[in-house]
Amino acid sequence: MFISKLSLPRRTFLRGVGATLALPLLDAMVPAATALAQTPAKPTLRFGAVMVPQGAVREAWMPAQTGSNFDFSPTLKPLEPFRDHVVVVSGTGQTSADAGHAPGPIVFLTGVPGKKTEMTDVRAGVSLDQVFAKAIGQTTTFPSIEVATEDFSGYVGACDNGWACAYLNTISWADPTTPLPMEVNPRVVFERLFGGAGTAEQRLARMRVGRSVLDSIAPEATRLRSGLGGRDQEKLDAYLANVREIERRLERAEKNSNAQVQLDAPVGVPTDFGEHVGLMFDMLHVAFQTDTTRVFTFQMARELSQRIYPEIGCLDPHHAMSHHRNEPLLLAANARLQFYHYSLFAAFVEKLKATPDGDGTLLDHVILQYGSGMSDSNAHSHHDLPIVVVGGGAGTIKGNRHLAYPLGTPLANLHVAYAHKLGVDLERFGDSNGVIDL
């Protein structure tokens, strides 16, 4: 038997002037005459955490039934098409957390309440994403990626009743005293992933002449394509088209931002929230697809956020609106906003589902935690957090379930469960006292 097949290493890059582009998993990266299921070896597991601020309206978020085949609540409806990859977890929280906003982003991935201070002596705990970055991310270009949409990193002192601003600016901690910065500029994220000009002036110059990062790697991409099989050619074409579309959208957002905001606004941060979130999710999708990273955190909005959402009829600042005082109109507005956030997340999940990865899809091979470190925004409560787990965990997670745990169950018990699914040796984390059965 004669076998003729282009063989590529898993870490193949297309390189051009100022640009480096990783490739998705192609059949040509699998040794000839070897079953796909036996190589690129077992599926690569990935982890992501997406935090939204200020809790959820319980009546609109909580499913009415527990166990399997539950009815999706109004807020959760955007995730219903992915039912078999969704586990709703209720009842968990951090019972010793202070009744304020700052413990929300602390609790979300550390499982500890944090030290209340207005000074620089902040203390929380190493966050779960950084545990995973060390365990499963060290062979990737970026062990982890941390992104957000709101930048308050210039704020110092107290931002929340005795809590330092640093606590609200991130959900990722390298160690108990080192909060990690979250990148808010999609252009910076794009250039970290793909290269390209670095200054605002260079970016604007490229926009004016219509040059793309992909243009510089086009000759090498053409040469590579000619040696691939038909299925790999289709995969490569779809991937490059996706990257180019991200760049087009980013440039369109930059033009709009430059026209609508003060002249010294940083090029690359869209004024439209949905566009901003969509660009971040699309780049995280590509980063997963190319194995550029296996771990990300995304602070979709910040606790105490003053953002308004005129696109969905919410004209009050989010923070003010979250103190609803159980008034029907404010409760309805909060629920509408939370549905909108879930819709943006669901679009990302759809991309993962549509992306082949080995013998399955990216959605089959990820574990995503979506939710908030606060439950009732009106009471500043951190009990009974609205948490959803999305992804198949490479066959280790059974979806289509609502797991309702007794109040007082540590969220960290869920963190330990993720570690077990990812093959990370972790028996205790934060204030955990057991493990949740995913």
- What mean pLDDT is predicted for residues 111-127? 94
CA dihedral of residues 320, 321, 323, 325 (deg, nearest 10)? 130
DSSP-assigned letters across all residues of 133-172: HHHH-TTSS-S-EEEES---TT--SEEETTEEGGGGS-S-
Question: pLDDT tens-digit profile of 137-182?
Answer: 999 989 999 999 998 776 767 788 899 999 999 999 999 999 999 9
- Helix H or strand E encompassing 206: helix 200-209
The H-assigned helical ranges of 26-111 are 58-61, 103-110
- Given this model, what pLDDT does residue 261 score? 37
Q: Does the pLDDT value for residue 264 go beyond 50?
A: no
What letters, b where the CB count within 10 A reaches 16 and e where it falls short, cover 92-130? bbbeebbebbbbbbbbbbbbbbbbbebeeebbbbbbbbb
CA-nearest of 185, 166, 37, 146 to 105 is 166
Q: Which one of 38-47, 138-147, 212-221, 257-266 scores highest in mean pLDDT?
A: 138-147
Q: What is the mean pLDDT of the chain?
A: 87
pLDDT exceeds cutoff 80 at 197? no
- The pLDDT assigned to 276 comes to 95
Global pTM value: 0.86
With a cut of 50, say whether residue 2 has pLDDT above it. no
Residue 265's pLDDT is what? 33
In the predicted structure, residue 218 carries a pLDDT above the cut 90: no
CB 101 within 8 A of CB 91: no
Write out the two tokens for 41: 């070896």
Ramachandran class of 283: left when φ > 0, alpha when ψ lies in -120 to 50, beta otherwise: alpha
Residue 79 has pLDDT above 70, yes or no: yes
Q: What pLDDT was estimated at residue 401?
A: 98
Residue 30: pLDDT band by 50, 70, 90 thresholds? low
pLDDT tens-digit readout, 344-358: 999 999 999 999 998
Cα separation, 209 vs 251, whole angstroms: 12
Name the residue with higher pLDDT: 151 or 404: 404
Q: What amino acid is encoded at 325 in this protein?
A: R
Per-residue pLDDT for 37 more than 50? Answer: no
Q: Which of 72-81, 114-123, 202-211 has the lowest mean pLDDT?
A: 202-211
**Widest CA span in the chain:** 75
Q: Residue 38: its pLDDT value, please?
A: 46
Q: What is the pLDDT of residue 53?
A: 96
Nearest to 113 by CA among 122, 103, 121, 105: 103
Distance, in Å, from the CA atom of 33 to the CA atom of 25, rounded to the nearest integer, reads: 17
CA angle 415, 416, 420 (to 5 degrees): 120
Rounded to whole angstroms, what are the CA distances from 312 to 234, 299, 329?
38, 20, 14
Residue in the block written with tokens 């430059």: 258
Give mean pLDDT, residues 260-285: 74
Q: Which of 11-25, 239-253, 306-320 has the highest mean pLDDT?
A: 306-320
Mean pLDDT of 271-275: 93
